């Protein structure tokens, strides 16, 4: 199914076209903006592409993240306690794009904001879309807005030029899929388990079968996430899908590098980037 935006006009679409041309799958990494604090979070964001992230999902912290498991819930709480707001999330994207004199800006890596509708609604949809585009955001994943509510945010986002990425799950049957895919653009995010983030992993055969079924319904790239923690798991996903999405494992790596008082230990950023490099190598190995 064609995107509602022109073909290959967004960073997301260009990135997946480049990956296809290279004959490999991509790595999509998720971090929560402001976790463990604003400065370290921006350092991580700026370093992720060089470590192997092809697309970055940036979580918008929210007080009631009902689809997220314990690790990402804790990350959101740390971010909120550090003073992160949606306005500051957008500033973080702007800083990533612009650089700071010492660190060059990144105008190529796609940034997808992921989270819940309440902060966007409170911000004001029209103002949010204007500010997000100006900051350099490329797409949105809003997990609590179903297709029946597309007029609320999805259609205005597409009209503004942002990709709107929808989630499909193991319970999304053939009857439901057309509604899910109708206004989706950029890529489809296949949630490989039924449940919350970071709790368990799907079997390789189940992922391969699900990807094959989805590809019969859409020509959009398919990214598979929820439960990928290791390079081997990323490699297995890369054999079937167009990208592997890793979030909870990276968030847990951040948590593992906080002291008993919640303060970052020396080497936190490198600890996370080391895992990203391993995962990126796994994704590349998947199509070798």
Point out the residues that are catalytic: 57, 68
Question: What is the spatial distance between Cα 246 and Cα 257, in angstroms, rounded to a whole number?
Answer: 18
Kindly give, in sequence order, each residue whose CB lies less than 8 Å from that of residue 181, ignoring residues fewer than 6 positions away: 1, 166, 168, 188, 217, 218, 220
Question: What is the spatial distance between Cα 279 and Cα 101, in angstroms, rounded to a whole number?
Answer: 30
Nearest to 117, CA basis, from 70, 73, 164:
164
Question: What is the spatial distance between Cα 23 and Cα 11, in angstroms, rounded to a whole number?
Answer: 18
247 CA to centre of own chain = 8
Which token pair is 52? 């192997």
Question: What is the spatial distance between Cα 180 and Cα 167, in angstroms, rounded to a whole number?
Answer: 8
Dihedral sign from CA coordinates of 129, 132, 134, 136: negative
Percent helix / strand / coil, the chain, rounded to 5 = 45, 15, 40
Residue 280 near residue 55, CB atoms below 8 Å? no
99 phi/psi in degrees, rounded to 5: 75, -175
Report helix, strand or coil for 115: strand
């Amino acid at each position: 199914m064609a995107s509602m935006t022109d073909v290959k006009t967004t960073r997301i679409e260009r990135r997946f076209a480049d990956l296809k041309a290279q004959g490999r799958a991509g790595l999509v990494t998720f971090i929560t903006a402001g976790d463990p604090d604003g400065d370290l979070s921006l350092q991580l964001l700026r370093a992720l592409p060089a470590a192997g992230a092809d697309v970055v999902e940036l979580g918008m912290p929210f007080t009631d993240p009902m689809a997220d498991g314990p690790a990402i819930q804790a990350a959101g709480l740390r971010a909120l306690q550090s003073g992160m707001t949606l306005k500051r999330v957008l500033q973080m994207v702007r800083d990533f794009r612009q650089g700071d004199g010492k660190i060059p800006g990144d105008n190529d890596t796609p940034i997808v904001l992921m989270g819940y509708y309440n902060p966007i609604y409170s911000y004001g949809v029209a103002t949010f879309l204007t500010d997000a585009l100006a900051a350099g955001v490329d797409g949105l994943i809003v997990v609590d807005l179903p297709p029946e509510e597309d007029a609320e945010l999805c259609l205005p986002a597409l009209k503004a030029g942002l990709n709107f990425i929808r989630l499909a799950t193991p319970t999304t049957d053939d009857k439901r899929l057309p509604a899910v895919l109708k206004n989706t653009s950029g890529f489809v995010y296949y949630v490989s388990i039924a449940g919350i983030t970071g709790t368990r992993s799907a079997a390789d055969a189940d992922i391969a079968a699900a990807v094959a079924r989805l590809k019969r319904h859409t020509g959009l790239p398919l990214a598979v996430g929820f439960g990928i923690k290791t390079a081997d798991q990323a490699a297995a996903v890369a054999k079937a899908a167009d990208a592997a999405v890793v979030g909870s494992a990276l968030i847990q790596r951040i948590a593992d590098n906080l002291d008993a008082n919640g303060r970052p230990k020396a080497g936190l950023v490198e600890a996370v980037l080391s895992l990203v490099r391993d995962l990126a190598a796994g994704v590349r190995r998947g199509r070798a």
